[in-house]
């Protein structure tokens, strides 16, 4: 993963800069391991924004596969004799298509799907096409030709993969066939031709790569999950964000609709499809194919604690100022029941009502749910009075579950000041804070948690990203300031128990919101500088905070300390001392790390430095240059218990040394 450099490079880095000022003395008390760093400390927040689910992480390649979009044929082109009918085999997705012979041998009946910004396929890889079909007129056999094709007029032969499918039953039945394209294409289409003189009904046309993450048939894109896994996240928050609230309550994320056979999961409008006029996507819906079962399974497979967020009876408060848009207190019972049922779905035995559904879906063992968030970015007394009822019910039925409340959409201000005391009064376990803020904020907030009340709820920094002023896109400088800020999270790990950057994913052609952690197109993805910052913290999080001073003073975590930010941890498993230092200044900075408190028989082994740095602050990795900025790793020799280094301007460095016993 990391570029490996030899021993000479740090020397070069140290000597190649001029104008180095005062040396900053950083002292790490290696014998004073303090607060435990929670396994959940650094995690991921997934929301279906920017085509993050359908068209993104969810590997389905067909858009509107069940003809349930309000415009039933959106995403499809039809030719020949086609009828749309609505008494299909799946009651919650009743529409289907009837293909009839055109009555003319040279005139095809069939249909074509455009996918999500096209269908991305790779040469010689296998793609599973499946469809529910029947012969409604009882004829003996129907035949279909399935093709992947390049729609462009310049292709001599548009078809890049073909297969035949025989339909042999008057009853609805699932059929499938494998397609292997002879070329790689980012924007292919799927074509289905009727090749027999027979009437054939088709429903739920689906196309997945066979090679999904862990090979699941209703699976996820392997490259994207690999990127998530590579972070080693401790917690996985899902499914949003604003989509939990919905544009209105009717379009809120309803987890019960997202489980069971995919063919019968009803479509939901995505709250992000017409949110911004400058990015308008009227075809953005949620198939729920990536539903709560898949979310829990994903969390398990990437080693993260699942953290579902549930609607609290409030629709998006930005978009709904009228009280009648929300569920009243009297109407809240079904919402509370949803939360209780979810806990049973995740943790209940296979003979419980909801645990049975989980078991039938292939996971008899519990998902070990420990956390639940009630409400996303809610505010006002209308939130607090609803949350209170949830808290009472969950505490009574499931005292083992930790409840997360909200501090509103802002990192400070009236609502924030009102909500925190209310969260304390309700005794929630953690409070979710959100901050999409400019450079200045990130530079001034490294000590944000130093003075938080240690007796109240813990902190979950549930959504944050540096939105550079005038530069609301990914670039290295923003990521660097996120790293600076995160040293403050780490130094305060006794109170900060979770942190998740947001948003996570964005389709290069379908984004609404940026910056984002991982960008992708139909074939590949790119890890941004912010991704690497998250990864470096997560993979070097250690187990306990170590006290660290700079020039004999506690690290203040703000700009005043010459633009330097730092934290230190001890890792019980690897027996390592890990120091993170961020130089946000435009100058090289000399530092000396003093590892205090080592016993006479203890020493430090050859260690390593991992460094993230970019020559150009306004740039980031792109799909064309995905590896332009990535961590570099090189060995570091330490003599005794001190290390002198020169940090390059605008850099994030991690120093790791293993504590060992000196040879006698
Ligand atoms: O992450 C994007 C959005 O930002 C989330 O949906 C919402 O919670 C916040 O306003």
377 lines ligand 1 (CB under 6 A): yes
Please give the Cα distance from 512 to 503 (Å, whole number).
Answer: 10
Question: Where do we find the tokens 């969260």?
Answer: 423
Please report, for the domain that includes residue 591, its CATH number.
2.60.40.1180
Q: Which of 464, 467, 502 to mutate to test the pocket of ligand 1 (most atoms within 8 A of CB)?
A: 502
- Among 484, 517, 539, give the residue marking a domain's end: 539
- Measured over the CA atoms of residue 59, residue 62, residue 66 and residue 72, the dihedral's sign is positive
| Number of CB atoms found within 10 A of residue 365's CB | 10
* Residue 5 pLDDT: 38
**376 C-alpha to center of ligand 1: Å?**
8
Domain of 101: which CATH number?
2.60.120.260
Ligand 1 touching residue 376 (CB < 6 A): yes
Q: Which residues of 248-260 are buried (b: 16+ CB within 10 A; e: fewer)?
A: ebebbbbbbbbbb
Residue 604 included in any domain = yes
Report pLDDT for 664: 61
Residues 562 and 633 in one domain: yes
Confidence of residue 606 (pLDDT cuts 50, 70, 90): confident
- The total of structural domains in the chain comes to 3
Ligand 1 neighbour 375 (Cβ under 6 A)? no
Say if 402 falls within a structural domain: yes
On whether both 193 and 286 belong to a single domain, the answer is no
The pLDDT tens digits of the residues spanning 527-536 come to 999 999 999 9
Q: Is 463 in the pocket of ligand 1 (CB under 6 A)?
A: yes
Tell me which of 177, 209, 241 is where a domain ends. Answer: 209
Give the pLDDT score at 155.
74
Q: Are residues 459 and 592 in the same domain?
A: no
Task: Tell me: do 221 and 198 sit in the same domain.
Answer: no
Which residue's alpha carbon is at the smallest distance from atom 4 of ligand 1? 241
Ligand 1 atom having least distance to the Cα of 240? 6
From 45, 48, 49, give the residue whose CB has the most ligand 1 atoms within 8 Å, as the site to mutate: 49
Q: Is 409 in the pocket of ligand 1 (CB under 6 A)?
A: yes
240 CB within 6 A, ligand 1: yes
Pair (433, 338) in one structural domain: yes
- Least Cα distance to 345 among 405, 297, 382, 285 occurs for 297
Best CA proximity match to 574, nearest among 538, 608, 540? 540
User: What would the mean pLDDT of 162-183 be, rounded to a whole number?
Assistant: 98
> Is the distance from CB of 569 to CB of 547 less than 8 angstroms?
no
| Ligand 1 nearest-atom number relative to CA 513 | 2
State residue 279's pLDDT score.
84
Tell me the C-alpha distance between 460 and 443, whole Å.
Answer: 20
Ligand 1 geometric centre to CA of 242 (Å): 6
Does some domain include residue 70?
no
Does residue 10 have a pLDDT over 90?
no
- Closest ligand 1 atom to residue 376 Cα is 8
Confidence of residue 3 (pLDDT cuts 50, 70, 90): very low
Cα-to-centroid distance, 336 and ligand 1 (Å): 23
User: What pLDDT does 1 receive?
Assistant: 41
Out of 436, 437, 472, 511, mutate this one to test ligand 1's pocket (max ligand atoms within 8 Å of CB): namely: 436
User: CA 75, CA 71: separation in Å to the nearest integer?
Assistant: 9
The verdict on residue 473 lying in a domain is yes
Q: Which atom of ligand 1 is nearest to the CA of 243?
A: 6
pLDDT averaged over the chain? Answer: 94
Encode pLDDT of 91-117 as tens digits. 999 999 999 998 887 789 999 999 999
- Is 552 domain-assigned? yes
Q: Is residue 16 over pLDDT 70?
A: no
Mean pLDDT to the nearest integer, 426-432: 98
**Per-residue pLDDT at 557 exceeds 80:** no
- Mean pLDDT value of segment 86-90: 98
The percent of residues above 90 in pLDDT, for the chain, comes to 88
Which band of pLDDT confidence, cut at 50, 70 and 90, is reported for residue 404? very high
What is the rounded average pLDDT of the residues 349-355? 98
241 touches ligand 1 (CB under 6 Å): yes
pLDDT digits (tens, 9 = 90+) for 240-296: 999 999 999 999 999 999 999 999 999 999 999 888 888 888 899 999 999 999 999
**Do 560 and 524 share a structural domain?**
no
The CATH code of the domain that includes 318 is: 3.20.20.80
Catalytic residue among 269, 294, 344, 377: 377
Helix ranges (DSSP H) in 315-471 = 333-347, 353-360, 380-397, 414-426, 439-444
Are 492 and 609 members of one domain?
no
Q: Which atom of ligand 1 is nearest to the CA of 502?
A: 1
Distance 275 CA to ligand 1 centre (A): 12
Q: pLDDT (tens digit, 9 = 90+) per residue, 27-82? A: 999 999 999 999 999 999 999 999 999 999 999 999 999 999 999 999 999 999 99
pLDDT of 13 reads 43
State the average pLDDT over residues 194-212.
98
pLDDT reported for residue 288: 98
Residue 477 inside a domain? The answer is yes
What is the distance in A from the centroid of ligand 1 to the CA of 186?
29
pLDDT at position 553 is 86
Indicate if 377 belongs to the active site.
yes
Q: What is the pLDDT of residue 277?
A: 83
Closest residue to atom 8 of ligand 1, CA basis: 241
Mutate to test the pocket of ligand 1, among 513, 514, 515, 530 (most ligand atoms within 8 A of CB): 513
Atom of ligand 1 nearest to the CA of 503: 1
pLDDT band (50, 70, 90) for residue 559: low
Same domain, 350 and 267: yes
For ligand 1, atom 3, the nearest C-alpha belongs to: 241
pLDDT at 661: 78
Provide the whole-model pTM: 0.96
Q: Which residue range is the domain that position 355 belongs to?
A: 42-59+213-539
Please report which confidence band the pLDDT of residue 12 belongs to, taking 50, 70 and 90 as the band edges: very low
pLDDT of residue 203: 98
600 φ, ψ (degrees, to nearest 5):
-60, -30
Q: What does DSSP assign to residue 356?
A: H
Domain boundary among 477, 511, 539: 539
Cβ–Cβ under 8 Å, residues 123 and 152:
no
Is residue 118's pLDDT more than 80? yes
- DSSP notation for 514-577: ---SEEE-SS-EEE-HHHHHHHHHHHT--SEEE-EEETTEE---STTTTTEEEEEEEETTTTEE
Residue 67 in any domain: the answer is no
Tell me the average pLDDT across 491-503: 98
Same domain, 178 and 47: no
pLDDT score of 17 more than 80? no
Assign 157 a pLDDT band (cuts: 50, 70, 90). confident
User: What is the residue with the minimal CA distance to atom 5 of ligand 1?
Assistant: 241
Residue with the smallest CA separation from ligand 1 atom 2 is: 503
Ligand 1 pocket member 503 (CB < 6 A): yes
316 alpha carbon to ligand 1 midpoint, in Å?
11
Whether 49 lines ligand 1, by a CB cut-off of 6 Å, is yes
* The predicted structure's pLDDT at residue 57: 98
User: Is the same domain home to 393 and 518?
Assistant: yes
Mean pLDDT score, 165-193: 97
Bond into 359 cis (ω within 30): no
Q: Is the CB of 513 under 6 A from ligand 1?
A: yes
**614, 487: one domain:** no
Residue 657 three-state SS: strand
Ligand 1 midpoint to CA 304 (Å): 21
For residue 571, tell me if it sits in a domain: yes
Number of neighbouring beta carbons within 10 Å of residue 463: 23
Assess whether 308 and 450 both reside in one domain.
Answer: yes
d(CA 407, CA 417): 8
pLDDT given for residue 663 in this prediction: 66
Nearest CA to ligand 1 atom 7: 241
**Poorest-pLDDT segment among 137-141, 180-184, 259-263, 450-454:** 137-141
> In this structure, which residue's CA is closest to atom 6 in ligand 1?
241
Note whether 220 and 213 are within 8 A (CB). yes
pLDDT at residue 601, as a whole number: 85
């Amino acid at each position: 993963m990391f570029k490996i450099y030899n021993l000479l490079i740090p020397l070069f880095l140290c000597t190649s800069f001029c104008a180095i000022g005062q040396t900053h003395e950083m002292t790490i008390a290696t014998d004073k391991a303090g607060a435990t760093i929670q396994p959940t400390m650094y995690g991921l927040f997934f929301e279906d924004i920017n085509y993050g689910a359908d068209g993104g992480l969810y590997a389905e390649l067909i858009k509107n596969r069940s003809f349930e979009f309000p415009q039933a044929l959106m995403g499809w082109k039809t030719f020949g004799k086609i009828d749309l009918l609505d008494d299909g085999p799946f009651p919650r997705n009743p529409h289907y298509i009837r293909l009839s012979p055109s009555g003319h041998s040279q005139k095809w009946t069939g249909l074509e799907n455009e996918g999500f910004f096209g269908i991305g396929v790779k040469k010689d890889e296998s793609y599973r096409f499946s469809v529910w079909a029947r012969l409604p007129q009882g004829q003996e056999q129907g035949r279909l030709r399935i093709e992947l094709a390049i729609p462009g007029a310049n292709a001599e032969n548009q078809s890049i993969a073909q297969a035949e499918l025989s339909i042999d039953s008057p009853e609805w039945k699932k059929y499938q066939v494998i397609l292997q394209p002879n070329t790689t294409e980012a924007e292919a289409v799927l074509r289905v031709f009727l090749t027999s003189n027979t009437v054939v009904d088709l429903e739920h046309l689906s196309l997945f790569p066979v090679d999904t993450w862990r090979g699941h048939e209703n699976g996820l894109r392997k490259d994207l999950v690999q990127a998530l896994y590579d972070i080693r996240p401790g917690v996985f928050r899902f499914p949003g964000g604003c989509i939990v609230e919905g544009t209105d309550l009717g379009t809120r994320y309803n987890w019960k609709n997202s489980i069971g056979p995919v063919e019968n999961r009803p479509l939901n409008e995505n709250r992000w499809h017409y949110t911004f006029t400058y990015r308008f996507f009227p075809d953005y819906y949620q198939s729920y194919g990536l539903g709560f079962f898949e979310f829990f399974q994903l969390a398990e497979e990437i080693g993260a604690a699942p953290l579902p967020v549930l609607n609290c009876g409030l629709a998006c408060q930005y978009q709904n100022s009228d009280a009648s848009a929300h569920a009243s207190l009297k109407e809240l019972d079904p919402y509370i029941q949803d939360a209780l049922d979810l806990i049973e779905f995740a943790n209940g035995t296979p003979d419980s009502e909801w645990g049975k559904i989980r078991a039938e879906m292939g996971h008899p063992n519990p998902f070990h749910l420990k956390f639940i968030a009630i409400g996303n970015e809610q505010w006002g007394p209308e939130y607090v009075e609803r949350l209170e009822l949830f808290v009472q019910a969950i505490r009574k039925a499931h005292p083992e579950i930790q409840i997360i409340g909200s501090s509103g959409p802002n990192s400070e201000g009236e609502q924030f000041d009102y909500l925190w005391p209310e969260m304390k009064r309700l005794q929630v376990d953690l409070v979710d804070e959100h901050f999409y803020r400019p450079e200045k904020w990130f530079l001034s907030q490294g000590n944000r948690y130093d003075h938080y009340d240690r007796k109240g709820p813990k902190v979950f920094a549930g959504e944050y990203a540096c939105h550079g002023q005038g530069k609301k896109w990914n670039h290295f400088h923003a990521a660097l300031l996120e790293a600076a800020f995160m040293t403050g999270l780490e130094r305060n790990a006794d109170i900060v128990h979770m942190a998740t950057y947001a948003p996570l994913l964005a389709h290069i052609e379908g984004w609404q919101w940026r910056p984002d952690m991982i960008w992708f197109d139909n074939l590949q993805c790119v890890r941004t500088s912010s991704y690497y910052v998250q990864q470096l913290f997560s993979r070097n999080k250690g187990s306990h905070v170590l006290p660290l001073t700079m020039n004999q003073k506690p690290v203040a975590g703000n700009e005043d300390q010459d633009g330097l930010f730092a934290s230190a941890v001890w890792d019980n498993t690897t027996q390592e001392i890990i120091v993170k230092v961020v130089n946000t200044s435009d100058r090289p900075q000399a530092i000396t790390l003093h590892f205090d408190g080592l016993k006479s028989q203890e020493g430090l082994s050859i260690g390593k430095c991992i460094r993230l740095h970019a020559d150009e602050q306004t740039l980031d990795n792109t799909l064309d240059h995905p590896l332009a900025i990535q961590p570099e790793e090189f060995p570091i020799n330490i003599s005794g218990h001190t290390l002198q280094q020169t940090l390059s301007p605008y850099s994030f460095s991690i120093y790791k040394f293993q504590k060992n016993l000196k040879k006698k």
